[in-house]
Chain A
Amino acid sequence: AQRVTQPEKLLSVFKGAPVELKCNYSYSGSPELFWYVQYSRQRLQLLLRHISRESIKGFTADLNKGETSFHLKKPFAQEEDSAMYYCALSLPQGAQKLVFGQGTRLTINP
């Protein structure tokens, strides 16, 4: 069965420090992976998808098929990065549903 694991429920770092939010997945096919972010009192929104290989708000994520990981990284954290982050796996070929991890609450301390 498809599964997404985010081992850290809470992560706290200081402003300016590097951030890494971990995500591991289990899926036998070729996954499509996403990071979603939910800022306080806002709706869930897409942050990154692995196929676009882009950097959004300074965040990047690389799909490592060997380690079945899709960790989210940012070299220098900012206070506005404080939010709930969800890693999600999409099943291709029409299924389209998203399988979410449990989420990591990131707090950036001043």
Chain B
Amino acid sequence: DSGVTQTPKHLITATGQRVTLRCSPRSGDLSVYWYQQSLDQGLQFLIHYYNGEERAKGNILERFSAQQFPDLHSELNLSSLELGDSALYFCASSVRAGATTYEQFFGPGTRLTVL
């Protein structure tokens, strides 16, 4: 699959635990974005990395952190999990679509359930 890939597809864990979500961008894309989709908040931007460097932060909690590795894959680490962290976490990568426009391609998401 040459598209954005995310693992695992599903994750069930308990409150207080820590998990790591993984994302591999499309071949050649240097940017990775993380989004959280929950029933009450909708789709919210968390963080953007470009070629290993953090570029922008959104509504990302201090308990959450991310990084992008030299091979451009990214990991989102969620710690001290709470029930409210249950959500679908999407990763996207982008390609330039114009002078200032970037088209983002989304992965299938990781569904996190915190019990």
Contact = CB atoms under 8 A, between A and B. Distances in A.
Interface of A: 32, 36, 43-46, 49, 51, 86, 90, 92-103
A100 B97 contact: no
Interface residues of B: mostly helix, strand, loop or mixed? strand
B23 to A, nearest CB: 12
Contacts of B42: 100-103
A99 B45 contact: yes
A43 B108 contact: yes
Contact of B45 (A43, A45, A98, A103): A98
Given A96-B31, A96-B56, A96-B94, A49 B101 contact: yes
B99 to A, nearest CB: 9
A21 to B, nearest CB: 15
Contacts of B103: 46, 49
A95 B104 CA distance: 13
B102 interface: yes
